[in-house]
Amino acid sequence: MTLRNQRTSLFDRRILRQAVLDSLRKLDPRLMAANPVMFVVEIGSVLVTAIAIDKPSRFAWTIAAWLWFTTIFANLAEAIAEGRGKAQAAELKKTRAITTAHRRGADGTLEDVPSGSLGLDDLVVVSAGEVIPADGEVVEGIASVDESAITGESAPVIRESGGDRSAVTGGTRVLSDEIVVRVTALPGASFLDRMIALVEGAERQKTPNEIALNILLAGLTLVFLLAVVTLQPFAVYSGARQSTIVLVALLVCLIPTTIGALLSAIGIAGMDRLVRRNVLAMSGRAVEAAGDCAVLLLDKTGTITLGNRAATAFLPLDGVSEQELAEAAQMASLADETPEGRSIVVLAKERFELREHELHGGHLVPFSAQTRMSGVDFEQRSIRKGAVEAICKLVEDGRGSVPKQLTELAGEVAQSGGTPLAVAENGRPLGIVQLKDIVKEGLAERFEHLRRMGIRTVMITGDNPLTASAIASEAGVDDFLAEAKPEDKMALIRREQAGGNLVAMTGDGTNDAPALAQADVGVAMNTGTQAAREAGNMVDLDSNPTKLIEIVEIGKQLLVTRGALTTFSISNDVAKYFAIIPAMFAGVFPELGHLNVMRLSSPESAIASAVIFNALIIVALIPLALRGVRFRAASAIAVLRRNLFIYGLGGLVAPFIGIKLIDLVVSAIGIS
Amino acid sequence: MSSSGWLQLGVLVGLIALSAPLVGAYLARVFGGGTAPGDRVFGPIERLCYRAAGIDEQGEQTWRVYAGSLLIFSAVSVAAVYLLMRLQGSLPFNPSHAVSAGPALAFNTAVSFVTNTNWQNYAGETGASHLTQMAGLAVQNFLSAAVGIAVAVALIRGLTRRKSDTIGNFWVDLVRTTVRVLIPIAFVLAIVLASQGVVQNLHGFTHAHTVAGATQSIPGGQVASQEAIKELGTNGGGFYNANSAHPFENPTALTNLLEIWALLVIPFSLAFAFGRLVGNRRQGWTIFAAMFLLWIGSVGVATHYELAGNPRIQAIGVVGSNMEGKEVRFGAPASALFAASTTDTSTGAVNSSHDSFTPLAGGVVVANMLLGEVSPGGTGSGLYGMLVFAILTVFLAGLMVGRTPEYLGKKVQALEMKLIVLYLLVVPLVILGLAGASVVLSGPRSALLNHGSHGLTEMVYAFTSAANNNGSAFGGIGANTNWFNATLAIAMLAGRFLLMILVLALAGALARKQTVPESSGTFPTATPLFAVLLVAVIVVVVLLTYAPVLALGPILEHLSL
């Protein structure tokens, strides 16, 4: 099972059935009280139902029924959002079976214990074919591990002691070899447990912006409650006393039920979207912070460039043909199994159709850290390729002189962000091979999108400033930090934060941990160390650093969706007033019938139509709340114009049309 | 509209367009912390005040201390005016023999002038001695206006400071506003008004025998000096009962225009001062634009309906605009312009009877106040009200750009929203609660001189005017009763000081925050779009609260014509 491949449709039938049941269970006032807007609606429903029982009329029952629907629809939205998470959690729980662990005692003896009884810092031995019993760190050995249970990636990954790939997750399976794991998480607090709790929504806490929005919605509810309650004295004074049913109907229509009903569903769905992209956010706060980020710190290797450098050009000295150089370089690289060496062979083949030479009796000279060269020796020829300084030394040792052109070419390559390698044959330098970082495709465009959204990208690299600057300009990042040490990264984050910017970064190594913790959004790679995974507030199960950009977009989309539905909800009120006010008073003051611009057929039908519209709009917007408003990378002003047009203006106009249409149906059926 | 009506409006808009940015620039220097024009003249006066009162000029205050200072100062002010009113009968400077006021009326009047409302349940000619006028009411005309500006400046500091616990010094802001802004401008204005025939003396009533043989009592008083600050400080309490309709307060078309200019100039120029103080003049222009749109819109509607007149009266053969309750020397356009402006600012001075306006023009002047006095509002209170709405607008619409809403780099979070929600609640609670009670309780209801929808408008107008510290009266209520003196005083106090405390708390919360730098991902708040959005939010969010009452009051009355 994988998270990624589980594409549950928006309204999966199983989820929907469960959600309907849940939405009724959520009518419990103790649960409803958490949402003040809908709590008011529920109280109104009870009130109107009581009146309908006392003095039954078709109108009273219609309003009562639709008020209940309004409450239930709100619960339904939340239940559907939760249901999708629960379905995923159920799958994950299957992997959380109790297994037997082989605990190694201090004297080296093995003892079989259930995985549930393991303690912190226990050492367990896991062999091929066994499931790792708990989260931990490999302290001995190396093994290939199948992590598809949590990442959905079927290719096994290597886990080894020391270094940056030492963390293992409970519930994953060792495929080969044997490792000793030090337990770092107690049962129930493991990565898998947290993941289940997260997707289930059990640990969901309201995020800062959600809290602020809730305060506003509760405040608006109070204001409208006040307006409706005080309406009665004014109505009594005017000789047009209103029934409680009508007042409740007006109140429910005015308070921001649309956003109140969908707010928590939007939040849950936002987390869900991250999970679908195999990112686990440890808190909703981090998701919101992602939307606010102004600076992204991106590691060069793996994020901006493909992991390895590749040969991109042969630069021969005067008197040497390019093909001659290419041939020599290719032969010298045959012994070089590194990706860089392979790329020289490939480039020579592409350029000059040079077949890989058979080494007729040649003797391969592998790369060594002392010589910093590799090559091949034949009877007549000795070809070497290596660092420019190393080749220069070789030439000088052979009493040759190094042509100035060689160092000049090497300088040019370095200047342009590449790495020069020199090639020599029999002590005679032939030229330079240029190695370059390969910038991932499409990145420049994505960075441009980010720039339009007001987000700066900073490339972090251990390269010298010259190389860094060349790659930075090629990739289109806004800034770079060269020769970066972990402290420098930390200092950069602190500086940006002091200036008021929120910073997002990715990291995997233990030395990234402090920076991951300091950053507002720290995305740890799942392949990274336990320390890094603990320090970050998100974990990317795919370990794809480029995903940081998607995370930012998801964060923004979450906030946009919230804002759009809030705007829509409040703009709706205008039309509802035009439906209900004339209906309330037209009996006593026929003049106010002029305000009935929708020409609704009767006062009862007008009030009922407004209430029904108010309920149906919630259902109509559930898919939007779960999917999120379409988000395009553009400047704030462009995004604002578009959304204001759709949700602000749309929110003003839509209910006029909707209420009129419902009125046509209601009056055709007959209500009073 | 007649050509003189257009000319008048054109000249007024021109005067504001010229003067508001200039005054705004001056205000920004006064409150900017650096040197300011006139330091050599004003500096010594201010230092004298500081030394006399023991104020540390450099001492910064947290929002709590700032609010505490403001409340203590205002409480002392209320006590002073209360005592003057209670004792004026036995105090000097009482040539017209005004009697000492009873406790309810004295309290109402004291609260009214200290809250910058200037609701008058007494008649100026007979109810207040010259001493009360000079030492009590005129002093509060200056100081209450200065208090409003101080709070606005404190809020601006909250927006501009980062990670700071303090928002300025109330006493310094109070002294600087009074000495450098209000007194100089009011001084010049008083002389100009006097030159046009506004009286300025210490006389009581002059008894004259007219040619026809009747006896006339002609009141005197230090009117010009009071008139200037009455408008400039958006106070509105007239020296005479007839307020700016009285020929000794407002004799000519020129003084009428000048008075309208005076009541608009500081609220509008504070928008420009704001822009300069936050280091982005476009922000100031945006706030100005929103204020201006609301003001010109209300002027337009009020003028239109006043010129259109009352169809019932026209039906009996009286053609032309609505002239009931208006001074002939002003006519309908100048009266509508004055009425809209005096309610758009929290002034409340009147040059015509708002009670006699056509229903929708009367509805507009109520709506102006209901919007919370932000178009451009009172001195200081207009700006801080508008900034509260700006933050609300940013919160509502700002999410739509995909970031936590921020205004001028300050994130709007739970604490700010709590304060803003309370700010939005106070005034409707007071207006709807007290007006609602007053229309159903038989005692207060019997104070209404009209019934039906017009009576409802009168009642709502009274509490709206008090809670928004406007002070103009629609008329039509015998409001000098214990019930109205008490409830209106409560409305005035809540509408003034509860809101000020909330605004200062907001300033404190904002000052403590980090400032997020602006980028292309920031919600733009210095654009025409934002000005329109701000207006839309004010109209939709605020006016919708009162829609039922407006429907039963002015709208119903209009539709019944």
**pLDDT for A596-620, tens place per residue?**
999 999 999 999 999 999 999 999 9
Pick from B8, B397, B324: nearest CA to A564: B397
Q: What is the least distance, in Å, from the CA of A248 to any CA of chain B?
A: 14
Instruction: Say yes or no to pLDDT of A663 above 90.
Output: yes
**B376 prior amide bond cis, ω within 30:** yes
Residue A213, both tokens: 């929005």
Pick from A626, A671, A651: nearest CA to A273: A626
Note the pLDDT of residue A9: 60
The count of structural domains within chain B is 1
Considering only CB atoms, B400 lies closest to which of A237, A501, A643, namely A643
ipTM at complex level? 0.93
How far apart, in whole angstroms, are the C-alpha atoms of residue A217 and residue B541? 12
Instruction: Say yes or no to pLDDT of A155 above 80.
Output: no
Q: Is residue B15 part of a domain?
A: no
Considering only CB atoms, A636 lies closest to which of B162, B433, B523, namely B523
Residue A538, both tokens: 């998100």
B402 contacts in chain A (CB < 8 Å): 291, 453, 555-557, 559-560, 631, 636, 639
How far apart, in whole angstroms, are the C-alpha atoms of residue A176 and residue B224? 99
Q: Is B416 on the interface with A (CB under 8 A)?
A: yes
Residue A476 CB partners (closer than 8 Å, separation 6+): A443, A444, A447, A448
Q: What is the pLDDT of residues B386-410, one digit of tens each?
A: 999 999 999 988 889 888 899 999 9
B108-133 average pLDDT score: 90
Q: What is the pLDDT of residues B343-379, one digit of tens each?
A: 999 998 999 988 899 999 999 999 999 998 999 999 9
At residue B381 the predicted structure's pLDDT band, cuts being 50, 70 and 90, is very high
How far apart, in whole angstroms, are the C-alpha atoms of residue A58 and residue A169? 61
Helices (H), A95-207: 148-151, 191-200
Helices (H), B32-102: 39-53, 63-87
DSSP A602-628: -HHHHHHHHHHHHHHHHHHHHHHHHH-
A224 contacts in chain B (CB < 8 Å): 545
Note the pLDDT of residue A357: 59
Q: Is residue B453 part of a domain?
A: yes
A330-344 average pLDDT score: 80
CB contact under 8 A, B521 and A455: yes
From the number of C-beta atoms within 10 Å of its C-beta (0-12, 13-18, 19+), residue B77 rates as buried
A457-476 average pLDDT score: 86
**Chain B: residue nearest A206 by CA?**
B414
Q: Is B544 on the interface with A (CB under 8 A)?
A: yes
How far apart, in whole angstroms, are the C-alpha atoms of residue A408 and residue A660? 80
Instruction: Say yes or no to pLDDT of B119 above 60.
Output: yes
How far is the CA of B40 from the CAs of B151, B180, B540, in angstroms?
A: 26, 11, 48
Please provide the size of chain A in residues: 672
Instruction: Say yes or no to pLDDT of B128 above 70.
Output: yes
3-state secondary structure A397-434: HCCCCCCHHHHHHHHHHHHCCCEEEEEEECCEEEEEEE
Rg (CA), chain B: 23
The least confident of A144-158, A249-263, A433-447, B528-542 is A144-158
A204: left (phi over 0), alpha (psi -120 to 50) or beta: beta
Note the pLDDT of residue A356: 60
Answer for the pair A215, B417: CB distance below 8 angstroms, yes or no: yes
Q: Is B311 on the interface with A (CB under 8 A)?
A: no
Rg (CA), chain A: 34
Beta strands in B149-246 (DSSP E): 205-209, 215-219
CB contact under 8 A, B520 and A454: yes
Residue B467 CB partners (closer than 8 Å, separation 6+): B427, B430, B431, B491, B492, B494, B495
Note the pLDDT of residue A416: 80
A233 contacts in chain B (CB < 8 Å): 436-437, 439-440
Considering only CB atoms, B560 lies closest to which of A451, A591, A644, namely A591
The residue that leads in pLDDT, B305 or A442, is: B305
A240 contacts in chain B (CB < 8 Å): 552
Q: Side chain identity at A549, as an amino acid letter?
A: I
Terminal-residue alpha carbon distance, chain B: 22
CB contact under 8 A, A216 and B541: no
DSSP A180: E
The residue that leads in pLDDT, A309 or B200, is: B200
How far apart, in whole angstroms, are the C-alpha atoms of residue B229 and residue B503? 25
Pick from B483, B464, B473: nearest CA to B542: B464
CB contact under 8 A, A223 and B425: yes
**Chain A: residue nearest B539 by CA?**
A574
Q: What is the pLDDT of residues B182-211, one digit of tens each?
A: 999 999 999 999 999 999 988 888 888 888
Q: What is the pLDDT of residues A378-408, one digit of tens each?
A: 888 888 888 888 888 888 888 888 888 888 8
Q: Is A220 on the interface with B (CB under 8 A)?
A: yes
How far apart, in whole angstroms, are the C-alpha atoms of residue A43 and residue A67? 10
B126-143 average pLDDT score: 92
Please identify among residues 156-175 of chain B the ones whose CB lies closer than 8 Å to any CB of chain A.
Answer: 162
A263 contacts in chain B (CB < 8 Å): none
Pick from B540, B544, B522, B521: nearest CA to B532: B540
* Chain B interface mutation, best of A206, A224, A230, highest count of B Cβ atoms under 10 Å: A230
Q: What is the least distance, in Å, from the CA of A651 to any CA of chain B?
A: 12
Q: Is B559 on the interface with A (CB under 8 A)?
A: yes
Instruction: Say yes or no to pLDDT of A4 above 50.
Output: no
Mean pLDDT, chain B, rounded, equals: 92
Answer for the pair B467, B366: CB distance below 8 angstroms, yes or no: no
A277-304 average pLDDT score: 85
Q: Is B529 on the interface with A (CB under 8 A)?
A: yes
CB contact under 8 A, B456 and A591: no
Residue B168, both tokens: 């300025």
At residue A5 the predicted structure's pLDDT band, cuts being 50, 70 and 90, is very low
Q: Is A338 on the interface with B (CB under 8 A)?
A: no
**Chain B: residue nearest A592 by CA?**
B556
Q: Is residue B515 part of a domain?
A: yes
Q: Which of A135, A299, A508, A520 is catalytic?
A: A299
Q: What is the pLDDT of residues A21-41, one digit of tens each?
A: 999 999 999 989 989 999 999
CB contact under 8 A, A294 and B519: yes
Q: A607-616: b or e for each residue (b if 16 or more CB lie within 10 Å)?
A: bbbbbbbbbb
Q: Is B34 on the interface with A (CB under 8 A)?
A: no
- Domain region containing B553: 375-559
A263-270 average pLDDT score: 89
How far apart, in whole angstroms, are the C-alpha atoms of residue A317 and residue B218? 111
Q: Is residue B432 part of a domain?
A: yes
Q: Is residue B482 part of a domain?
A: yes
A636 contacts in chain B (CB < 8 Å): 401-403, 520-524
* Chain A interface mutation, best of B391, B393, B403, highest count of A Cβ atoms under 10 Å: B403
Q: Is residue B109 part of a domain?
A: no
**Chain A: residue nearest B432 by CA?**
A230
Considering only CB atoms, A237 lies closest to which of B440, B533, B547, namely B440
Instruction: Say yes or no to pLDDT of A64 above 50.
Output: yes
| Strand partners of residue A299 | A460
Instruction: Say yes or no to pLDDT of A359 above 80.
Output: no
Note the pLDDT of residue A88: 75
Terminal-residue alpha carbon distance, chain A: 56
How far apart, in whole angstroms, are the C-alpha atoms of residue B432 and residue B480? 20
B15-30 average pLDDT score: 97
Instruction: Say yes or no to pLDDT of A563 above 90.
Output: yes
Map residue A267 onto helix, strand or coil.
helix
CB contact under 8 A, A563 and B400: yes
Q: Is B99 on the interface with A (CB under 8 A)?
A: no
**Distance from chain centroid for Cα A573:** 35
Q: Is residue B334 part of a domain?
A: no
Note the pLDDT of residue A515: 87
The least confident of A295-309, A566-580, A651-665, B101-115 is A295-309
Mean pLDDT, chain A, rounded, equals: 86
Instruction: Say yes or no to pLDDT of A97 above 80.
Output: no
Note the pLDDT of residue B113: 95
pTM of structure: 0.89
Q: Is residue B536 part of a domain?
A: yes
Whether A54 is catalytic: no
* Chain B interface mutation, best of A236, A238, A250, A452, highest count of B Cβ atoms under 10 Å: A238
